[in-house]
Chains A and B, each alone.
Chain A
Amino acid sequence: MGERQVEFRNVSFRYQEDMPWVLKDVSFTIGPDEWVAIIGHNGSGKSTIAKLMNGLLFPQEGEILVDGIRVNQETVWDVRKQVGMVFQNPDNQFVGTTVRDDVAFGMENHGMPRELMVKRIEESLSAVGMQEYKIHEPHRLSGGQKQRVAIASILAVSPEFIILDEATAMLDPKGRKEIMQTIHGVQKERDLSLITITHDLHEVTQASRVIVMNQGEVWMQGTPREVFSRKEHVIEIGLDTPFISKLADHLKAEGVSLAREPLNHQELLEELWTLRSTM
């Protein structure tokens, strides 16, 4: 086993030979305990990256290494033990008739002993705050609860990497908050890396690193602060910047000097407070 990381080495991918490349020479590395947000306009190749990462697709060029193991037909089942994925539509990822059965499904596929499964079901459902719902039918849960169960099913297998592919896009604001809280909790308690593919700028500002995709290529990598301080360019490629970041720009234009690019209300308020008290 190599070091704990997902590495894309010069990866290119297209769905068919006569079709354009969806990914072109993409390289990046995601290390332990990182929270990486992948953003980009619709069709920029974000979801393809997710599918390549756990062997739902294989690249035509380049290679993908998970913990140093090359992802291919032979290694895909080992890879999937390490890379779990939550999809966009909460209704498309249930197989069990109860929440408990559903969480057990992934573990059964990996042939875990029963005692361990029982223990893991308890642990992972309580990690997402769904332990009260063990014998509920998944399809009767709210969207946010469904996604939390989907996350629990993945935690149960104890992967090193979890990919959330627009996992909050179909949820209402309350469901979104539930998922974000769950993710924060899980990331703090468990030793794992998160990869979130999202259009939600609030999610992006909370990540430790951002990979910006544009037309199948890695357009930029950096901290959320670095990415949003290049606003004009971010907007050029069809993305948006957070409200606070826009307001900060206009404040600067009004001659207010800010020490750094604010990412949230708190940061901007603190700067304004300092300015006001020194006036």
Chain B
Amino acid sequence: MDITFDHVSYVYQPNSPFEHRALNDLSFSVKSGSFVAVIGHTGSGKSTLIQHLNGLLQPTEGKVQIGDYVLEAEGKNKRLRDLRESVGVVFQYPEHQLFEETVAKDIAFGPQNFGVENKEIEKRTREAVKATGLPEDLLNRSPFDLSGGQMRRVAISGVLAMNPKVLVLDEPTAGLDPSGQKEIMSMFSRLHREKGLTTILVTHSMEDALAYADHIIIMNHGELYSEGTPLEIFQQQKALEDVQLDIPEVIAFISEVRKRLNIDLEYKGQTIAELAKELAHKVRGGGDHE
């Protein structure tokens, strides 16, 4: 689904001493099928932005369009239900929202609310646990007996069982160990491709933004600071530092190699192995005078 923000502003507690403009005149668009990373330091407006994607918040000014659903400042914004069926949001620490007696019941909760038939729910549940890599024999266990990583997969399965077309992920790897982080991110990457989803990833990890996104949006003080492909964005080291963001380690290292060793090296999406090959060649004096 195409997503468009058209001059969107959002103000928390307007006309009170606590008035806070979290989004300010924000405009951007996301093509259906893209994998977009939203980055920016804490308080830059990322969370407010994603809460507009399934109508948890409605713009104070401007217009948000997701597929053919329109959220406007004025007016009632009907069909929110349809919107929420299409946009699945995995919030931070989603396992904190588990509540049912069994894993199966927890996964079924969302689709049941939307009136999906039991047979269809069963089918979707099996698909969802398969997609998230949970063994089927966990379905009748209590979600609270599982490990943290498994609980998170149960929560994600619940979102997937809604069959969303847009998947919104708010720091989905926070608190997981390195291999858990890698597993969860490659799972989302696979789902994105296989199901033709539009994926919006909010992350503090520049490494994940570089590895998985095809487009990056940088937020700062509720405004769009910059957007582009990962390669475009991460070439601008100074601009990123100005808004307290890092660059991915591989790009930082390459820039140090250029400066300190006077070796002409550039990041073009190489794997570590490719980079090592190029670097080894150039350290030996190859490539410079040829």
Q: Which residues of A contact B (CB under 8 A)?
A: 40-43, 88, 142-143, 166, 169-170, 172-175, 199, 201, 238-240, 243-244, 246-247, 250-251, 253-256, 265, 268-269, 272-273, 275-276, 279
Interface flags, B12-56, vs A, CB<8A=1, else 0: 000000000000000000000000000001110000000000000
Q: Does B215 contact A (CB under 8 A)?
A: no
Binary contact track B136-159/A, C-beta < 8 Å → 1, others 0: 000000000001110000000000
Docked-complex contact A273 and B280, CB < 8 angstroms: no
- In the bound complex, residues from chain A placing their C-beta under 8 Å from that of B42 are 142-143, 172, 174-175
Closest 9 CB pairs of A and B: A250-B276, A240-B178, A254-B280, A238-B179, A42-B177, A172-B42, A243-B249, A41-B177, A251-B276
- Judge if B253 is at the interface, Cβ distance under 8 Å: yes
Q: Is the CB of A256 within 8 A of B256?
A: no
Question: Which of B177, B179, B246 meets A173, CB within 8 Å?
Answer: B246
What 0/1 readout, one digit per residue, does chain B (161-175) give for beta carbons within 8 Å of chain A? 000000000000011
* Distance between A166 CB and nearest chain B CB, rounded to angstroms: 7
What residues of chain B lie closer than 8 Å to A166, measured between beta carbons?
A: 175
Contact A256 B280 (CB under 8 A): yes
Picked from A88, A169, A174, A251, the residue with its CB within 8 Å of the CB of B41 is: A174
Q: How far is the CA of A88 from the CA of B252 in the complex (A)?
A: 29
In the complex, how many angstroms separate the beta carbon of A91 from the nearest chain B beta carbon? Answer: 12
Q: Is the CB of A170 within 8 A of B174?
A: yes
Binary contact readout B240-265 vs A (1 if CB under 8 angstroms, 0 otherwise)? 00001110011011001100110100
* Given A239-B178, A243-B253, A42 and B148 contact (CB-CB distance below 8 Å): yes
> A residues within 8 A CB of B285?
276, 279
Q: Who on chain A is nearest to B147 by CB?
A: A43
Chain A residues within 8 Å of B177, by CB: 40-42, 199, 238-239
User: In the bound complex, how far is the Cα of B180 from the Cα of A273, in angstroms?
Assistant: 36
Q: Mark B210-250, 1 if CB is under 8 A from A, else 0.
A: 00000000000000000000000000000000001110011
> A42 touching B176 by the CB < 8 A rule?
yes
B275 interfacial by beta-carbon distance below 8 Å: yes
Contact A41 B179 (CB under 8 A): yes
CB distance from B285 to the nearest CB of A (A): 5
Contact A250 B272 (CB under 8 A): yes
With A256-B280, A276-B283 as known contacts, state yes or no: A269 contacts B174, CB within 8 Å: no
Q: How far is the CB of A19 from chain B (nearest CB, A)?
A: 10
Q: State the CA gap A166–B162 with chains docked (Å).
A: 33
CB of B277 within 8 A of chain A?
Answer: yes
User: B residues within 8 A CB of A272?
Assistant: 257, 261, 279, 283
Q: Which residues of A contact B180 (CB under 8 A)?
A: 41-42, 238
Q: Point out the residue from A238, A243, A269 that lies within 8 Å of B260, measured CB to CB.
A: A269
- The answer to whether B174 and A169 have CB atoms under 8 Å apart is yes
Least CB distance from A267 to B in Å reads: 12
A169 touches B204 (CB 8 A): no
Contact A256 B283 (CB under 8 A): yes
- Distance, CA A279 to CA B250, complexed state (A): 25
Q: List 13 A-B contacts (CB under 8 A).
A: A41-B179, A42-B177, A43-B149, A88-B175, A199-B176, A239-B177, A239-B179, A243-B253, A244-B253, A247-B253, A254-B280, A269-B256, A272-B257
Could you tell me if A173 and B280 are in contact, using CB atoms closer than 8 angstroms?
no
Q: State the CA gap A250–B147 with chains docked (Å).
A: 35
A41 to B179, CA, bound (A): 8
In the bound complex, residues from chain B placing their C-beta under 8 Å from that of A250 are 272-273, 275-277
- One of B244, B253, B283 near A174 (C-beta < 8 A): B244
